[in-house]
Structure 1
Amino acid sequence: MKLLENKTAVIYGGGGSIGGAMGRAFAAEGARVFLAGRTPEKLDAVAAAIRSEGGLAETAIVDALDESAVNGWVDSVATQTGSIDISVNVISQDALFVPMLDMPVAAFGQAMEKVARSFLLTTRAAARHMVKQGSGVILQFGGSDPTNSTPNLGTVQAGCDLVEGMRRQWACELGPSSVRVVSMRTGGIPEGLPDVPDMAPFKQQMIDATLLKRAATLEDVGRVAVFLVSDHARTITSTQVNISCGALVD
């Protein structure tokens, strides 16, 4: 039996490199995958790849900042499949790499509001169903580094820390209902960045920063994600799982 047989997974940002990697990996292990995003072409490409391998995938245009849209979509998926077993939010942040001293207040507030709102809405929509069924996994991607001393990360580090704070709160509130909340923490996935000359030095920096002298791949992301949302990881909640190849040392 496959690890995610008869499971239903919803993925926000399902047309992106990370969301697509998770979607393909979930489907390969038997999950029925529902991909949400705002770009039909990207969603359709991931769904087509999943179907070409015999997997089950459906797509929907959903704004993760729209409460009624998120609730309506998740409720419709639950009605169609009977459960919401896995919920993943990997929509992109509004990244502003600006020193905090120079950060425009309005821009910072807007970026933090997007992070907080999207993670609150998507997690809550899935959690309502998971609490009723007494099971489920909320998986987040990005994590944060409490030892970070890198300047000029602007809204990126602050956004990741905000998500981690919400993850801890969700985990303690949902735990009694056997719902797990976990994060994946990386030092960056070079393969997921645009393949343009300007990005080459940045990608190499990610690799050089690791202890293993290689960075995690999209396939690595998918494989670890499958494990984390499967019953094999049923004892893991309220924590970050480090797949940074040693770039981020605990």
Structure 2
Amino acid sequence: MLLENKTAVIYGGGGSIGGAMADAFAAEGARVFLAGRTPDRLEAVAARIRDAGGQVETAVVDALDAAAVNDHVDAVVEKTGGVDVSVNVITMEGLFQPLADIPADAFTAAIGRTLTTQLVTTKAAARHMVQQQSGVLLFFGGSDPANATAGMGNVQVGFDAVESLRRQWAVELAPSGVRTVTLLTGGVVDTFPDVPEMEGARQGIIDASPLKRAATLADVGAVAAFVASEKGRSIASTQVNISFGACHG
């Protein structure tokens, strides 16, 4: 198995993307620690993993609270001996409207919270990864300089900001053997509500791909598990495009 005897921490582990990564990591042998603010959602993912024979634990953690995040990571390391993979897939607060219509305070507050949670969780994991001289920090979303979609509001700006943060972490952590990788996505169609008004957005993602396909949750989990494993050890300080060519990072 790709991640046998590895420890993975997932912030936003009760969500669809976090759950998909958790399923894949556990199926590949990792011991998975799900963190988030909603116990019921965390436990639903954990139950699915346990039913499939995987190892998983959950914890209610506010990923904006540096002390709580540090305490959680320290507890994971005390229990397992280290942290091999850390990923924060907490949903960005998307303001999907023209930039001219978004109040400045709402825009900056949403971006600020996104960067804060990414900084807090990455710092907590990096502290241990530097000591053990190994580890993988995964990010999700990515930067697409060719983005030509109007009405994205703060979303692509936020992804670009997180990717800039990831690049800086790469510079600082690579000498300690820590890999930083972003999964660049053009959208995951099976996370969309199954309602008629979303059909246009779903089809738009498919049409943007030269292959006329869109990534699924299973695709996200499979690529994340490979990148996090030793099989993917040459993938570092970069984005991995999982958009079927729709994005141009």
TM-score by length of 2: 0.97
Q: What RMSD over aligned residues (CA atoms) do the two structures have, in Å?
A: 1.0
Matched-pair contact (CA < 8 Å) for 2:145–2:248? no
Residues matched between the structures, number: 249
**What are the within-5 Å matches in structure 2 for residues 200-219 of structure 1?**
200-219=199-218
Matching residue of 1:38: 37
1:108 aligned partner, one-letter code: F
**What are the within-5 Å matches in structure 2 for residues 66-81 of structure 1?**
66-81=65-80
CA deviation vs aligned residue, 1:85-121 (integer Å, no higher than 9, x gap)? 0000000111012322232110011011111100000
Matching residue of 1:88: 87
Q: CA deviation at 1:133?
A: 0.4
**What are the within-5 Å matches in structure 2 for residues 80-229 of structure 1?**
80-229=79-228
CA deviation vs aligned residue, 1:175-221 (integer Å, no higher than 9, x gap)? 01000000001111110122223222211221122111111111111
CA deviation vs aligned residue, 1:34-80 (integer Å, no higher than 9, x gap)? 00111111111110111111100011111111111111111111111
Q: CA deviation at 1:229?
A: 0.4
**2:17 is aligned with 1:52:** no
Distance between the aligned counterparts of 2:109 and 2:248, measured in 1? 31
Distance between the aligned counterparts of 1:71 and 1:89, measured in 2? 14
Distance between the aligned counterparts of 1:113 and 1:127, measured in 2? 21
1:26 aligned partner, one-letter code: F
1:247 aligned partner, one-letter code: A
Q: CA deviation at 1:29?
A: 0.5
SS, match of residue 154 in structure 1: coil
SS, match of residue 154 in structure 2: helix
Matching residue of 1:19: 18
Moved more, 227-236 or 176-185: 227-236
Matching residue of 1:6: 5
Matching residue of 2:238: 239
1:63 aligned partner, one-letter code: D
Q: CA deviation at 1:237?
A: 1.2
2:54 aligned partner, one-letter code: G
CA deviation vs aligned residue, 1:99-150 (integer Å, no higher than 9, x gap)? 2223211001101111110000000000000000010000001101012232
Distance between the aligned counterparts of 1:36 and 1:104, measured in 2? 31
TM-score by length of 1: 0.97
Distance between the aligned counterparts of 1:146 and 1:229, measured in 2? 25
SS, match of residue 49 in structure 1: helix
Distance between the aligned counterparts of 2:199 and 2:98, measured in 1? 24
Give the percent of matched residue pairs that are identical in Structure 1 and Structure 2.
Answer: 62
Distance between the aligned counterparts of 1:30 and 1:238, measured in 2? 25
